[in-house]
Amino acid sequence: MGKQESDSPKDVKRKQKAKMQLKRSIGYFDGVSFIIGTIVGAGIFVSPTGVLKHSLLNVGVALMIWIASGLVSLMGSLCYAELGTALPFSGGEYNHIKRGLGSLPAFMFIWTSTFTKPASNAARALLFAEYATQPFYGVCPAPDTLKKCLALAVLWSLGILNGRSVRLAAWVQTVFTLLKMMALSVIAVGGIVLLVGGRKESLARFEDMFSSEIPNSSQVAEAFFQGLYAYGGWWSLNYMAVIVFYLLVNISYLTVLTPKEIVSSVAVAVTWADRVIPSVAWIIPLSVAVSIFGALNSSMFTLGRLSYAGSQSGHLPVLISMLNVHSCTPAPAMIFSTMIASIFIIPSDLIMLTNYFGFSAWLMIGLTCTSLIVLRYREPHLHRPYKVFLPVPFVMVAMSFFLVVAPIVWSPNMQYVYSFLFMLGSLLVYFPFVYFKLRFAFLDKITCQLQLLLEVSPADGSAESKCE
C-alpha cells in the first residue's frame, strides 16, 4: 500500500475550522429544565405588584388579567410551536421573521432584542439582589448600591459560566429549577391552607373583588405587560398547568396581604413569609433568590444564541458569531449581551424595566405571528409537524397591536415613545451597514485584536477571520 499523504498546513487549518460549531449537548431533561427556568422565574415574584398597581387595586380585574395573560401566552406558544418545528434553526423568532417577512423586519427584531432582552435580564438580576439582601436588613430597605453591585456580580458570573461550558450551565439550570418549584409550592400550598382555614379578613378580600375602580385601556395594557412578563418563554410546554399554578400563588398573596401591602412591597414573597412562617421566614427569600438565579441563567443561555444567529446573518458584528476555540461556546455573544444588561442595572426600577421590555417585545411577537400567517400562504407545502388553528395567530397579531398602541394613544408615557423611536432608529443602521454593506478598515483591525484576545474563531467557516 502506498504511503498516505499528510495534509498541508492549510488543509489542517480548514479541517479545524469545519469542526468549529455549536454542539448539541443539551439532553431532554436539561431542555425541560431550561424551558421551566424561562417560564417560571422572576415574573411571579415581581409582577403581582405591577398587575395590582395598574389594575387600580381591583382584585377581580387583577386575577382576570393573570388568567387572560396565561391564555394569551398559551396561544403564543402554539404559534411558536408551529414555527419552531417547521424551521428548527438557532435564533428562534429572528429566523422565523427573516424567512416570512424579509431581512429588514428581521434586523429590527435583532436590533430591538439586543436591548430589550438584556433589560429583562437586568430586571431579573435586580430582583435576585432584592431577595438575597433583604433578610440581612429586616424591615429596613437594603442599600441600592449593594443591590446593584450584587446584580452585576450575578450577571457576569452567569455570563462567564455560559461562555465557558454548556454542560455546566445545563447542570446549574437543572438544580435551580428543582429548588424554585419547591419554593413556589410552599407559597401556593400555604395560601390554600390559609384560605380553607376560613380567616375572615382573608375571605373578605375575595367577596367583592370588582368593587374598586375599573382601569382604563392603557392601564389594562400596562397590567398585561406585567402579567405577560411572568409567563415569558414562548417555546414552552403545557401552559395550562402554569396558569393554575400562578393563580394559586396570587391567591396566596392576597389571602395574607392586602392589595395596598402588595403594591408597596417589592419583595412580595418575603412579606408573605414574615406573616405566615416568621420563625423560618428566611427560607422564602433564599428560595426565591435561587429561583430567579435559575431563570436568569436560562435567559442568558438563550440570549447568547440569538445574538450568535443574528451575527451569522450579517446583522450584528462578525465577532459575535465566533466561538471559543477551546469550548465551542459563543463567548463573544455572551460578553456582548452581558455588557448591555449591565447598563440597564443603573436605573434599577423593576416595573419600568418590565414595562419597557413588554412594550418592545410585543411588537416583535406581533411580527413573528404575522410571519407565520405569511408563510402559511407563501409556502403551503413547507413541512409542518404541527399546525396551529389559523385564527390563533390572527388573535395574537390583534393582541400585539392593542398592547403596543393602547399605551401610546391613551397614556402617552415617554418611555414608550422612546422605545418606538429606538426601533425606527434601526433603519439608520440597517441601510448603510447591512443593505449597502459599508465597511471601515479600522473596525476589522479591532475585530482581529479582540479575536486574538478572546481566542475565538469563525463558526464552521461561516465568516472569514479578520486575522488571516
- The tens digit of pLDDT for each residue in 162-220 reads 877 777 777 777 777 777 777 777 777 777 777 776 666 666 666 667 777 788 777 88
Q: What is the pLDDT of residue 16?
A: 47
- The C-alpha atoms of residue 364 and residue 49 are separated, in whole angstroms, by 25
Closest CA relative to residue 233, chosen from 188, 180, 287, 295? 295
Total Cβ atoms within 10 A of residue 290: 21
| Distance between CA atoms of residues 232 and 50, nearest Å | 15
Number of separate domains in the chain: 1
Q: Of 27, 36, 26, which Cα lies nearest the Cα of 239? A: 36
Say if residue 348's pLDDT is above 70: no
In a domain, 381, yes or no: yes
How high is the pLDDT of residue 333?
Answer: 84
Distance CA 457, CA 203 (A): 62
Residue 19 covered by a domain: no
Higher-confidence residue of 463 and 51: namely 51
Question: Could you tell me the residue range of the domain that residue 412 belongs to?
Answer: 30-461
Helices (H), 347-413: 350-378, 391-410
Tell me the percentage of the chain whose pLDDT exceeds 90.
Answer: 7
* Residue-level pLDDT at 358: 66
pLDDT at 111 over 60: yes
Evaluate whether residue 430 is within a structural domain.
yes
Determine contact, residues 305/330, Cβ cutoff 8 Å. yes
Of 69-78, 84-93, 236-245, 296-305, where does mean pLDDT reach its minimum? 236-245
Specify if 11 maps to a domain.
no
User: Of 42, 64, 58, which Cα lies nearest the Cα of 350?
Assistant: 42
Return the C-alpha cell found at 78.
Answer: 402554539
The answer to whether residue 15 sits within a structural domain is no
Q: Which CATH number covers residue 111?
A: 1.20.1740.10
Answer yes or no: is 25 within a domain.
no
6 occurs within a structural domain: no
pTM of the complete model: 0.73
The distance from CA 309 to its chain's CA centroid, rounded to whole angstroms, is 17
